[in-house]
Structure 1
């Protein structure tokens, strides 16, 4: 029996492994990077190697704005992931590939060409992320409650390029109900780059370093106005102040948080709120002098401080209009998605919201979303939000489950069918 390679091909990360396994073999960047100190491009996992210098890395990605634009570059990355990391032989393997929602036909044809002609897989099945998340969560869900009986989910996928709210019924994504927020992990990283570069030290070329700082230090505020007051406090009175140390290329090649305990002080605040709400912060002479010291920037320093940036960055997801973006926030995006479906589904979908994607890992993400969503939903509807145990691997685990089902091979396009009928006719089998 041939093996099934499961490939969740995200814009930021590739998750790759074999059908039937619980976890992917590899979770690696879906890009190439070249450090300034080298002429050699590092591919995928090579960027994660401890000895790799990631300072001022030039990055080439096969994805742009959520869609595959460079199939040749993608082929190079897939080739390394499949042959080197998985040690799989495509000629004796099937491929389950996770593609973006609403993938244009021209990109589908280019993808099929790489899969069958360049890599030589014997068969292909294409799935979308929301249906796989639903499949995985439904397999773990106890058979009770309205949502479980109806087999419905409202999957909120906060990915690298986009955030989607997608209703899924009986493992089938209702495309007419899918709503998109043009914000994802990439936009949040870019925003943090701008804030740090403007306030502290120019790090506009340090995408991988800022990405790491964002993942380790950012969190979602439950009371933004109050937290902004707290963030103005000096020194140790500021519960959000923390330091990120940049790599020096000698003693450490990776950035790190200087003091983890200091960085996690905000977690001890009651319900994310200060007890000093409404008390104005008075600027003392010492505060003003400290602020003047911060303005005298040391261009040689190898660390930077974060305060309110830590919660202002994820705040983009909830209030993009505050940053001048003509976008609805995440809660409104979810409501629009639900309301695009039949009224009978509304209470079921609000009761079965599933969060997936890397950006949902920010502390307090689910709590803030529920707080924003509750006033927008009818009082007699229950709102229940489930966070996946591992939101980065959640889609892949659904794919692994599907790939291990006895009917999987009959659902695939074979290489001979592709050669006989062509990509367009074969793709009709996948509906989306």
Structure 2
């Protein structure tokens, strides 16, 4: 067993393992949850939330806000639970070192709270604080010894996670701080936006954070042509390739939400990458009742705790590329990348872009980002984007 403990302390999830292992021991929510008062008085800690039977209306408390630690006492409780539950009984912090992954530009007061947690509360032997950008760059360079990134030792890491999105230039495994650009937009904002849309159109889900996180991860996608896809989303019946249904937990037959028809949710894959929306099929008004199947009429039934999604599926991730459309005074992701690169020396401009973070897992994310970047960079530059395997 390695004496180096690796702890990726994210705003949404926390990953715990030992140095040298391929996979973490546990990936769990970095929060606690309180069930409704009528169901239970017990507070659920981290991975206990995943095992809880009924995820509806859980009240969440997170130790991290906007990427930074604001509640050390709550973080201590979560770490203590995970250490005691998932690390071997022979594990001793006093004989181990801790590699802690934290966001860039942490305030001194926050760093002091972290030091107190690590050394005074848990008694680790030593501490190394790193950031995801340096680790991602090092990982890519070491696993591709003959690639461009390994030869140039230069990359731009786009880390889009729960609390924010960072564009980080890295040279010889050192972050160039003056080139870092931040968007105060992450997975939390996307989930909240999705909750507002669904609550306005279908059913009130403003208190269902965990369920709507699941909806976002399973059904949301990045559009390659927003205007075309909006036309398709306005169509009726099967011609709307984005229409799908999500079933909420009912507390009797199923405790977890699920996608009603996975094949229906994947119909958008038949769309070409480019081109106008396919024309609607001609159909007489008198034939609608004959051609429509009875099960299609029952696709969305609010009495069964179901709701349908159409253009919400791609409009929610669209926030990352055009936050100004929603009144946010921020540049989009492509412009943020260009600003980050332009802040560096011209010799470092031809960099490889590496995507990491949960938001980059949306389908077609890399393809859309490449299309957004192409008009913003010189014609003789080749835009090359790579994504993390996980």
TM-score normalised per structure 2: 0.92
Gaps of 5+ in 1: 391-432
Distance 1:273 1:73, change over 3 A: farther
Equivalent runs, 1:2-21 vs 2, <5 Å: 3-21=3-21
- Of 106, 113, 122 in structure 1, the residue corresponding to residue 109 of structure 2 is 106
Which one scores higher on RCO, CA 8 angstroms, separation ≥ 6? 1
Contact 1:17 1:25 in 2 (8 A): yes
The CA deviation at 1:2 is 5.9
Match of 2:144 in 1: 141
- Of 223, 237, 240 in structure 1, the residue corresponding to residue 239 of structure 2 is 237
Match of 2:355 in 1: 355
Gaps of 5+ in 2: none
Match of 1:212 in 2: 214
The CA deviation at 1:154 is 0.3
Contact 2:224 2:368 in 1 (8 A): yes
Contact 1:230 1:274 in 2 (8 A): no
1:35-79 CA-partner distances (Å, limit 9, x unpaired): 212111111101111x43110000000011111100000000011
Contact 2:229 2:277 in 1 (8 A): no
Equivalent runs, 1:4-403 vs 2, <5 Å: 4-36=4-36, 37-49=39-51, 51-87=52-88, 88-145=91-148, 147-271=149-273, 274-276=276-278, 300-347=303-350, 349=351, 352-390=352-390
Q: SS of the counterpart of 1:267? A: helix
Inter-partner Cα distance in structure 2 for 1:197 and 1:301: 16
Distance 1:325 1:281, change over 3 A: farther
Q: SS of the counterpart of 1:40? A: coil
Match of 1:428 in 2: none
Inter-partner Cα distance in structure 1 for 2:284 and 2:10: 46
The CA deviation at 1:89 is 2.6
1:222-271 CA-partner distances (Å, limit 9, x unpaired): 00011011001112221000011111122221111111100000011111
The CA deviation at 1:281 is 11
The CA deviation at 1:284 is 6.9
Contact 2:355 2:386 in 1 (8 A): yes
Inter-partner Cα distance in structure 2 for 1:318 and 1:235: 29
Q: SS of the counterpart of 2:316? A: helix
Task: Calculate the aligned-residue CA RMSD, in Å.
Answer: 2.2
1:287-308 CA-partner distances (Å, limit 9, x unpaired): 9xx9xxx9xx976431111000
Inter-partner Cα distance in structure 2 for 1:364 and 1:378: 23
1:382-423 CA-partner distances (Å, limit 9, x unpaired): 110001111xxxxxxxxxxxxxxxxxxxxxxxxxxxxxxxxx
Inter-partner Cα distance in structure 1 for 2:76 and 2:136: 26
Inter-partner Cα distance in structure 2 for 1:340 and 1:283: 59
Distance 1:69 1:367, change over 3 A: same
Inter-partner Cα distance in structure 2 for 1:247 and 1:93: 43
Matched pairs, number: 377
Contact 1:179 1:337 in 2 (8 A): yes
Contact 2:249 2:257 in 1 (8 A): yes
Inter-partner Cα distance in structure 2 for 1:272 and 1:304: 29
Inter-partner Cα distance in structure 1 for 2:377 and 2:250: 50
Inter-partner Cα distance in structure 2 for 1:111 and 1:164: 21
Q: SS of the counterpart of 2:98? A: strand
The CA deviation at 1:34 is 1.3
Inter-partner Cα distance in structure 1 for 2:197 and 2:370: 28
The CA deviation at 1:283 is 12
Which one has the bigger helix percentage? 1
